[in-house]
Structure 1
Amino acid sequence: MTPTPAPCTPLPSDAGFPRLVADIGGTNARFGWVAAAGEPVSHVRKLAVPEFAVPADAARAYLEQLAAAMGTRAVPRHAAVAVATAVVDDRVAFTNSHWAFSRQALQRDLALDSLLVLNDFEALALALPWLGPAQLRTHGAAPGGPGARAVIGPGTGLGVAGVVPTRHGWQALPGEGGHATLAAGDDFESDLLRCVRRQYEHVSAERLLSGIGLPVLHAAVAEVLGQPVAAPWSAEQVMAAGLARSDAASDRTLDVFCSLLGSFAGNVALVLGARGGVYIGGGIVPRMAERFFASPFRDRFEAKGRFAAYLRAVPTALITDTLVALTGAAAAIDAEVGTGVPRPR
């Protein structure tokens, strides 16, 4: 029997397939399939995290659905799982859900030759160089060209990552930037942060700029406006009322959300030197649609004093395709185990 190649051994173009890819957040787990070298991610399914005890159960459910659809058994050789938490050692525990697992155990349970586990925004960053116009909506000029790129994603939490060009291809820069301290840009925001600090000692960007943060931000806005709420609103309630402009506090909350996000995105662009562009991902901003593009986001992105001109030249874009992290996960497997089909650089 021919021995299985080690994970870092380049494979011929007809080997190492099929492959399983997954993008797991606090609410949903998206799975996809790469059938052969050079083929895009296909057979994408979205499963609800609360419906499964552990990721292995969700993966098996997906593979069963896939087998039924293909009419044959679905047996992946390699897999890459993008997760909404920091990846440090064998034990992976999600920040905003009940899921936790051992990487070695998951590889064994799914009978994989290799398993990559990477931060979900590392995967999203790896997908940035391959995004096309149909997957983006831009503020003016489209991102691209030389230089680093960054992605920020308000979803259940707040993810941040970057990607830089190297002579060996694109290299992701994972991190936990969503937990950096959030700063106020004006007196109203200073009052907001003062309110939130009475409840939380550290006010990170994720504390307000996320699905878990919208209710906190809304309560603080209502208090500063002199309209305190009796009980916290859900993120869905805040979003719906804000978009309908049926509640003053919710309406102002969405404006403040976009302003704070713009300031934070500008900070990320400066830290990473993201001259190639800053992308906004996650599930919250796409729901705002025109409201986001009419918001103070871009003005606040550029409002960095002596470096306003620097940031004026940095393009920003909204990622409208919610499945692009799966493409990044597939690229991560290519980089780890090899493929006979070269990707564009």
Structure 2
Amino acid sequence: MNLLLVADIGGTNGRFGLVEFDADKNRANSKVNYTAERQITLKCANYPDMATMIKACCSEFGIEIPAYACLAIAGPIENGQASMTNLNWKFSIDGLRDQLGMKTLHVINDFASLAYAVPFLEDDELITLYDSHKSSADAPIVVMGPGTGFGMAALVPSQNNWRIIPTEGGHASFAPTNEKELDIKAFLLKEQNHVSVENILSGGGLVTLYRALAHNEGVEALPYTPADVSTKGIANQDPLCREAVLTFCDVLGEVAGDKALSLGAKGGVVIGGGITPKLVDLLPESHFLERYKNKGPMTGYVSDISIRLIVNDKAALVGSAAWLINNTESLK
């Protein structure tokens, strides 16, 4: 029996979990449970570096530092070096492994971890937003989601496993498709020289949409936070907030269709991140599905691709565990 440490570490919080894994039992059963039965969340600001936080995490669990771990981090990983986008933390993966006395340490991007979780999630951890009944199990899946930023990755079937193709699709240009969105983009181009998908589809994007709509209506924008815009929009307490969240849903449908086309995602579209589950009841009121399918001669192509939504907010821990187990020879 091996005790595995898995984590999903962003700019604000580090979510940690412990997975008990028995390789012999795994070989005897076709289905592996990747869920971390014990989980804790730590505030990143309370620690000076990754090693200190991991030690504190293990102390909270009351265990020695495990020999095997996989960390999903919000930041780039290149040539064995990892850095956190919204924290001043940089580290060598091999150096951290040796410092902590681990046998194996994997560090992957947090959205890659979320994407890798998708094939291993249970039915009650996803809801279907649109079912075409034609998605293919042998085709790529595109996983995307608005949160603090906009993440995107592709999953490609590969020799009874899945290969992750990380992307920076959130930084592709925002493409307006109606007069209102053209006005929104024109407003933003006065403040910046490139307007990306992430500028619209993110927590900050909700505020951006609200500010742009207020400007174009000749109304003074209030100093709302993303939570203010979503809460007031969902409750219909502020008409501009309501319009902002509905516009957000429209653009999300548009982008989901674009990414499905670009990646040939006949295996389906999966939406993750923390924002969409809060807005799910508004999707039917928006033009989400209409915009998803509205691809001219490729409307039929996209209409054959189903859309699901991840509702398990700890799904990245599942992805980290699955990655660790399926990509560590000594655990197979």
- Both proteins in one fold, TM over 0.5: yes
2:119 aligned with 1:124: no
CA contact (8 A) 1:160 1:175 kept: yes
Gaps of 5+ in 2: 27-32
2:20 aligned with 1:35: yes
CA RMSD of aligned residues (A): 1.9
2:190 aligned with 1:198: yes
Report the equivalent of 1:254.
Answer: 245
Q: What count of residue pairs does the alignment treat as equivalent?
A: 320
CA contact (8 A) 2:55 2:65 kept: no
Shift of 1:168: 4.3
Which protein has the bigger helix share? 2
Shift of 1:234: 1.1
2:8 aligned with 1:18: no
Q: How is 1:41-190 mapped onto 2 (pairs within 5 angstroms)? A: 41-67=36-62, 73-141=63-131, 145-190=137-182
Report the equivalent of 1:275.
Answer: 266
Letter in 2 for 1:105: G
Shift of 1:148: 0.7
Report the equivalent of 1:242.
Answer: 233
Provide closer, same or farther for how the CA distance between residues 97 and 284 of structure 1 changes in structure 2, counting only shifts above 3 A.
farther
2:200 aligned with 1:208: yes
CA contact (8 A) 1:96 1:156 kept: no
Shift of 1:144: 6.3
Provide closer, same or farther for how the CA distance between residues 35 and 176 of structure 1 changes in structure 2, counting only shifts above 3 A.
same
CA contact (8 A) 1:185 1:260 kept: no
Q: Percent identity?
A: 34
2:301 aligned with 1:310: yes
Between the aligned partners of 1:254 and 1:313, the Cα distance in structure 2 is 27
Instruction: Output the TM-score relative to the length of structure 2.
Output: 0.90
Between the aligned partners of 2:287 and 2:49, the Cα distance in structure 1 is 41
Letter in 2 for 1:201: N
Between the aligned partners of 1:107 and 1:294, the Cα distance in structure 2 is 49
Task: Give a deviation string over 1:139-185, Cα, whole Å, max 9, x none.
Answer: 23276633111111111111101101122411111122111111112
Gaps of 5+ in 1: 1-13, 68-72
Letter in 1 for 2:19: V
Shift of 1:94: 2.4
Instruction: Output the TM-score relative to the length of structure 1.
Output: 0.87
Between the aligned partners of 1:300 and 1:63, the Cα distance in structure 2 is 47
Between the aligned partners of 1:175 and 1:92, the Cα distance in structure 2 is 17
Shift of 1:284: 0.8
Equivalent residue for 1:328, pick from 319, 322, 330: 319
